[in-house]
Amino acid sequence: MRIARPLLILTLFLLAACSRERIEQPLSDPGFGITAIEVQAGQDEVDIPVYMKYTEPVKGIQFTLSWDATLGDVSQPIMTAKNPNFTVSNNQARDGRMKVLIFSMHGDALDLSDAHIFNVPVEITNSEATQFILSFEDVVFAGPNASSYEIPVTPADLMVVR
């Protein structure tokens, strides 16, 4: 009887921890950025979704991703299936910075009917990390006829969970 009660409490705690809802921060409308607030440690790579809400046609995005390279690695962003005609070009990630350009060779506008437009693969490499900040710097949103838009950008301040 003495063992059964602690085992039951431990089992309920583990079930609650495994079934917790994914917590997200709000994205402004219009807005661009990351809504997830946690990243899983100990996996090879975790895809962090990037969202965009905007009503005007967006034909390209240019930005610099920055992060603390002593805590983790970031790979080239990957477009979702909604925007297969878009190319992602980036320079080699160095010292926690990567310049990224997203564009269509055909001049298409991004399909924003689903706000999830691409993923950023992240790998936490530091076993002591408790926080991983992924920032978007120098963001430019291109519209038709060489126009550009000012859209609020939400960076990721991710809590590292084990």
The residue type of 103 is F
The domain of 42 spans 22-161
Q: What is the pTM of this model?
A: 0.83
Contact at 8 Å (CB) between 31 and 154? yes
161-to-28, 37, 46, 123 alpha-carbon distances in Å: 25, 10, 12, 12
* CATH (domain of 97): 2.60.40.680
pLDDT tens, position by position, 86-137: 999 999 777 899 999 999 999 999 999 999 999 999 999 999 999 999 999 9
Indicate whether 81 belongs to any domain. yes
How many structural domains is the chain composed of? 1
Question: Within a domain: residue 147?
Answer: yes
7 assigned to some structural domain: no
Distance CA 146, CA 104 (A): 14
Q: State pLDDT tens for residues 37-49.
A: 999 888 789 999 9
Task: Identify the band that residue 5 occupies on the pLDDT scale cut at 50, 70 and 90.
Answer: low
Residue 101 inside a domain? The answer is yes
* Encoded amino acid at 145, one letter: N
The Cα–Cα gap between 83 and 78 comes to 10
